[in-house]
């Protein structure tokens, strides 16, 4: 049976599984344009049409799994509502098409339909050109990866029960702006392990790799406390990274503020093993499908934070803590 559904734009589909905030971030590729519905928004919460049993022809995923996935992804937003409208077989064995209706309890958002493809492994979906973790516990695999591989400098607890990993580029203006929120997270969640992983976007920030290499050596030589002193100084003097000469002065000054020898850190930054460490951090970000800086991973949950109000970030952190059953 054919479904009559107005599907969401690329931007709306991308927003399906990430917080719907007006975030600012640095990307290696341009962001999709944001499109808004042309029709006026309803003034009351929508009433979705009753699903037709004939549109549930696939064995997997189950409706319960889809709802659990959406609850994990969207549960932090008390105003968002949805309904699973169809789970359909496709011509490809093991791949199902899922259709849902999405709305807003306040009536501010015009309801729309969204479709995505669930893959045979039961752990991923395809929404437009993105492969997204799926399942009743969609963040579990990424959480495990981070617990194993996010070995950058950290502040807070040594425990990884609540692990907040920041991926940032020292030359990214939005990353600089996000540091105030990172400081607030450190205060509000003293039991969290807050890790810094450098993710230099070298194609648009030519000095970001050098800054990342310096950071690796500062952490190796002076530990996490020295690193965060260094990082704060680099972000404060970020404009100096716009030229090679300015970058050298900025990085050496930041090293000195961290109480270390600039000449020794520079020599370390040029070593092949230092470059391999930076490459490993970049590879970690890529394996987690992180495409912009700054980005947080909260127990495996991806949270873009550039330009996002702190109260919105905190709402998601609190919700993830609830999902994971962490005592605070």
Closest-CA residue to 181 (of 194, 172, 169, 191): 194
Sequence-ordered list of residues with C-beta below 8 angstroms from that of 214, at least 6 positions apart, any chain: 230, 234, 251, 254, 255, 265, 266, 269
The answer, yes or no, to whether residue 8 has pLDDT greater than 80, is: no
What's the pLDDT at 38?
47
Strands (E), 105-257: 112-118, 124-127, 130-133, 154-156, 163-168, 193-198
The answer, yes or no, to whether residue 2 has pLDDT greater than 50, is: no
Query: pLDDT tens-digit profile of 46-93?
Result: 889 999 999 999 999 999 999 999 999 999 999 999 999 999 999 999
The answer, yes or no, to whether residue 10 has pLDDT greater than 60, is: no
Query: pLDDT tens-digit profile of 137-157?
Result: 999 999 999 999 999 999 999
Q: How confident is the model at residue 24 (pLDDT cuts 50, 70, 90)?
A: low
The answer, yes or no, to whether residue 1 has pLDDT greater than 50, is: no
The answer, yes or no, to whether residue 32 has pLDDT greater than 50, is: no
Six token digits for residue 224: 């996490």
Query: pLDDT tens-digit profile of 194-233?
Result: 999 999 998 899 999 999 999 999 999 999 999 999 999 9
The answer, yes or no, to whether residue 3 has pLDDT greater than 70, is: no
Phi, psi of 133 (to 5 degrees): -60, 145
pLDDT higher at 28 or 213: 213
What's the pLDDT at 310?
95
The answer, yes or no, to whether residue 110 has pLDDT greater than 90, is: no
Grouping H, G, I as helix, E, B as strand and the rest as coil, residue 141 is helix
Radius of gyration of the chain from its Cα atoms, rounded to whole angstroms: 22
Average pLDDT of 302-320? 93
* Rounded Cα–Cα distance for residues 201 and 174 (Å): 13
Q: Which long-range contacts (CB under 8 A, 24 or more apart) does 10-18 make?
A: 10/35, 10/128, 11/35, 12/112, 12/114, 13/114, 13/116, 13/127, 13/128, 14/127, 14/128, 14/130, 16/73, 16/102, 16/114, 16/116, 16/127, 17/73, 17/127, 17/132, 18/302, 18/303, 18/304
Q: Please, what sign has the CA dihedral across residues 251, 256, 259, 261?
A: positive
What's the pLDDT at 18?
43
What's the pLDDT at 296?
96
Phi, psi of 146 (to 5 degrees): -65, -40
The answer, yes or no, to whether residue 26 has pLDDT greater than 70, is: no
The answer, yes or no, to whether residue 190 has pLDDT greater than 50, is: yes
Six token digits for residue 211: 């800054």
Q: Average pLDDT of the chain?
A: 88
Q: Structural domains in the chain?
A: 10-138 (no CATH), 141-323 (3.40.30.10)
Q: Is-contact 128 22, C-beta < 8 A?
A: no
What's the pLDDT at 286?
95
Least confident of 69-73, 123-127, 128-132, 181-185: 128-132
What's the pLDDT at 128?
82
What element of type H or E holds 316? Answer: helix 310-323
Full-model pTM? 0.85
Phi, psi of 302 (to 5 degrees): -80, 130
If one counts every other C-beta atom within 10 angstroms of the C-beta of residue 75, the result is: 15
Least confident of 32-46, 65-79, 121-135, 231-245: 32-46
The answer, yes or no, to whether residue 25 has pLDDT greater than 70, is: no
């Amino acid at each position: 049976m054919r479904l009559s559904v107005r599907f969401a734009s690329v931007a709306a589909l991308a927003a399906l599984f990430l917080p719907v905030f007006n975030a600012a971030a640095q990307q290696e590729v341009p962001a999709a344009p944001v499109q808004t519905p042309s029709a006026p928004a309803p003034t009351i919460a929508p009433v979705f049409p009753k699903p037709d049993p004939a549109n549930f022809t696939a064995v997997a995923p189950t409706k319960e799994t889809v709802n659990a996935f959406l609850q994990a992804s969207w549960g932090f937003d008390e105003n968002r509502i949805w309904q699973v409208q169809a789970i359909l077989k496709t011509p490809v064995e093991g791949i199902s098409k899922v259709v849902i209706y999405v709305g807003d309890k306040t009536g501010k958002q015009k309801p729309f339909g969204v479709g995505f493809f669930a893959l045979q492994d039961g752990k991923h979906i395809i929404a437009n050109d993105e492969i997204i973790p799926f399942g009743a516990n969609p963040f579990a695999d990424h959480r495990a990866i981070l617990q194993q591989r996010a070995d950058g400098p950290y502040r807070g607890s040594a425990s990884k029960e609540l692990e907040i990993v920041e991926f940032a580029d020292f030359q990214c203006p939005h990353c600089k702006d996000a540091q105030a929120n990172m400081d607030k997270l450190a205060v509000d969640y003293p039991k969290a392990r807050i890790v810094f992983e450098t993710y230099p976007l070298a194609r648009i920030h030519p000095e970001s790799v050098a800054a990342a290499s310096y950071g690796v050596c500062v952490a190796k030589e002076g530990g996490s406390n020295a690193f965060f002193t260094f990082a704060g100084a680099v972000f404060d003097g970020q404009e100096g990274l716009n030229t090679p000469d300015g970058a050298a002065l900025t990085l050496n000054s930041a090293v000195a503020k961290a109480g270390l020898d600039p000449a020794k850190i520079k020599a370390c930054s040029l070593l092949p093993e230092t470059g391999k460490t930076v490459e490993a951090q970049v590879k970690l970000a890529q394996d987690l499908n992180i495409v912009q800086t700054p980005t947080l991973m909260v127990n495996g949950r991806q949270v873009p934070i550039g330009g996002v109000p702190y109260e919105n970030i905190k709402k998601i952190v609190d919700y993830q803590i609830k999902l994971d059953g962490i005592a605070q």
